[in-house]
Structure 1
């Protein structure tokens, strides 16, 4: 049977583009359908613009630190959102063009419209065009979802920040995950009166307990009004903006309300039922370790599978799929060891592998824990503390996990991820000679465990 394409990809984000480019490199005839902009969430409305905003929001803190180093007149001045946004938009246009050129350079075809499945080998574009493919890869990503409360249409999602013409005077961010924490950091640093409301007792659920506490404290310390165990139940327009009612009976007014209450796989309307593809909770596409669905010709990578929802993971899944199906090099991604970072200010959160809650449950784990005030900020007068923590198997001495709270923690965890992924032991960490004076030297100078979690009896 002949097909129009060897591979048709639904979604022009990082995972889909990587899969298409690698498959094309193996000689496959490839096409992508993207209903929005090439580059997807990470490039256009996620990781990249968010990190640039973090950089922008750090200017006041840098000026303050400079004053502590003998520059008494150092100041960041007034922030111009229009100036920043114009430059940001130009950079995103550049990146989108690069993604487009890169895919077309390997012979790929791009359809700038939505596509949905009509069968195991068939898709239909929004204009009615029908296309057949030997293999179909779904890489449509995820989308923010709203909490389902009255008046939620008055709020916005994180995507909308990149479209604002001006910054609000006062904003409420709803949520306690990394998106909520990062955007609260950004708003605060850009001079917006920021309130963060979260239903739990500490931010960043699912992270190491010490990281959660330190992140929560830091957001308060930089001036974010963190309201824990606070759940909005209703939004309505008022003379002074948007009136928000909370479950505890209190209310408050804001210029804007941003919902960062989670994301869900973007699978609605993809025709999965028509093709017989099985889905799970929140509409996620169920796949095996090879990213293959129950329909042999259909695969899925990235956030639509709701495995580990990070851009580098989607890229690696897409690459592994293409190597396996088109390159005669069968491989898959091990999701058990994936590093991640939360870009807060001034100190970031970064993690890989086991955290201390998991160490307690597992037992037989030594915890090495170093906390101190770093030299740079200490000299400038800051009381901020950093933390570096290693989880080590007491028998094999293998390093099972690392948790970092500190400046540039994301950069540090990328390097630590290499030996941990290789299965290095604590003694092999210790064989590395420290680079002094650095923060990272603590990772190779912690000699004695601060505590041990014994194996449960029985």
Structure 2
């Protein structure tokens, strides 16, 4: 018999925590997972899954207009936000049920309570129950940052965007990252007047400059407004219930909803990390080694709470590698090189590997190939919107070190192309591949 209640106790039932729990249990471990809110975490409940469904819904705005150019007698259509909202939330409920079934089928005990660490092998539950475990895994994710300004309580975060009572007539979005740009594209298509407010002059820091600039150009052409180098002062609630965003300099912005989308912070507050000597960095992220072990030998952490790469597939890999290492007798680490990422903006963009600037700094001499074109569908639809594909090549070895794209279905195309970049294929090998015509993806093997 073990000296502990569980072999593994997981705090947080998001993507990383659920995967770690399931795999550890498959290796024969006795596992429990505590979740204070809902099973599925940010991605399933209040992040990428419901947001992608909103993206699909938003696409119909332009698709219905374009259909007329393709011969369809489409009448003027009205949009009903409550219908989409409720259908999306119902799908979230369904997915949460599947996640719960996964835990149940692997004999993982689900404890719907908040948990806090009281020692290297002990956890205190909100009900007052004290639980012991040989190993503890922290997978509590990250949480939206809310600025410390007067009237901040009048704003909302991405968590609440999926539950709005009505589609806002005027939406102010604070931030310049992927969440800000995605919601800007979504609600613009739903008919909102969208203003994106950014404290710097740069959107989507970390993505290639060419695709960032193209997104802003297209967004402005669609009617999305931008306010750069804007320092928030306060948010004022007016007598009629609307809001007014004030800045240190510049005119205020009247709106109906203010969305804070200026970053996410590792969710470590109140976890009791100090009780086990678990160290965090200056951002509050848990410090871990290559095997996700913290400064306390019996405690591990995976996912956004470590702030390595805040991506769901990365959290899943980290959780799986942890379980294999600790319980499966198969020590594994996660390879963070060439991880593809996407922004489901309007249009979407995606990238993998080094940007042009990064490649020049790291490699010195690079070759850059681009294709700037108007997709066939846009041509017939009468849309001027252009796609941009960019390939960054090491001039010495001819190896493709980066691919960056903006245009319809860019993430779908890049997922397959990322395999080639990860495998270290050369520009010549791309050139040697016969094009699949007519397609947008064929531009990748025709770059000159």
Normalised by the shorter chain, which TM-score bucket? over 0.9
- Aligned CA RMSD, in angstroms, stands at 1.2
Q: Mean Cα displacement is larger for which, 425-434 or 280-289? A: 425-434
Deviation by residue 1:92-121 (Cα, 9 ceiling, x = unmatched): 110000000001101100000110111111
**Shift in Å, 1:334:** 1.3
- Equivalent residue number for residue 65 of structure 1: 66
Matched, 1:18 2:33: no
**Shift in Å, 1:131:** 0.7
Whether contact under 8 Å (1:140, 1:304) holds in the other structure is yes
- Report the Cα distance in structure 2 between the residues aligned to 1:202 and 1:293, rounded to whole angstroms: 34
Q: Aligned pair in 2 of structure 1 residues 206, 76: CA closer, same or farther (>3 Å)? A: farther
Q: Mean Cα displacement is larger for which, 331-340 or 221-230? A: 221-230
- Equivalent residue number for residue 172 of structure 1: 172
Whether contact under 8 Å (1:141, 1:304) holds in the other structure is yes
- Equivalent residue number for residue 339 of structure 2: 338
**Shift in Å, 1:422:** 1.5
- SS of the equivalent of 1:397 reads coil
- Report the Cα distance in structure 1 between the residues aligned to 2:379 and 2:290, rounded to whole angstroms: 47
Whether contact under 8 Å (1:202, 1:213) holds in the other structure is no
- SS of the equivalent of 1:286 reads coil
- Equivalent residue number for residue 423 of structure 2: 422
TM-score by length of 2: 0.97
Structure 1 stretches lacking a partner, 5+ long:
449-458
Q: How does 1:380-419 map to 2 (within 5 A)?
A: 380-419=381-420
Whether contact under 8 Å (1:359, 1:391) holds in the other structure is yes
**Shift in Å, 1:76:** 5.8
- Equivalent residue number for residue 190 of structure 1: 190
- Equivalent residue number for residue 212 of structure 1: 212
Q: How does 1:193-272 map to 2 (within 5 A)?
A: 193-240=193-240, 241-272=242-273
- SS of the equivalent of 2:378 reads helix
- Report the Cα distance in structure 2 between the residues aligned to 1:343 and 1:85, rounded to whole angstroms: 18
**Shift in Å, 1:336:** 2.2
- SS of the equivalent of 1:85 reads helix
Residues paired across the two proteins, number: 445
- SS of the equivalent of 1:58 reads helix
**Shift in Å, 1:160:** 0.7
- SS of the equivalent of 1:282 reads coil
- SS of the equivalent of 1:395 reads coil
- Report the Cα distance in structure 1 between the residues aligned to 2:431 and 2:48, rounded to whole angstroms: 34
Structure 2 stretches lacking a partner, 5+ long:
none
- Equivalent residue number for residue 452 of structure 1: none
**Shift in Å, 1:414:** 0.8
- Report the Cα distance in structure 2 between the residues aligned to 1:76 and 1:109, rounded to whole angstroms: 52
- Report the Cα distance in structure 2 between the residues aligned to 1:23 and 1:123, rounded to whole angstroms: 19
Q: Mean Cα displacement is larger for which, 62-71 or 39-48? A: 62-71
TM-score by length of 1: 0.95
- SS of the equivalent of 1:17 reads helix
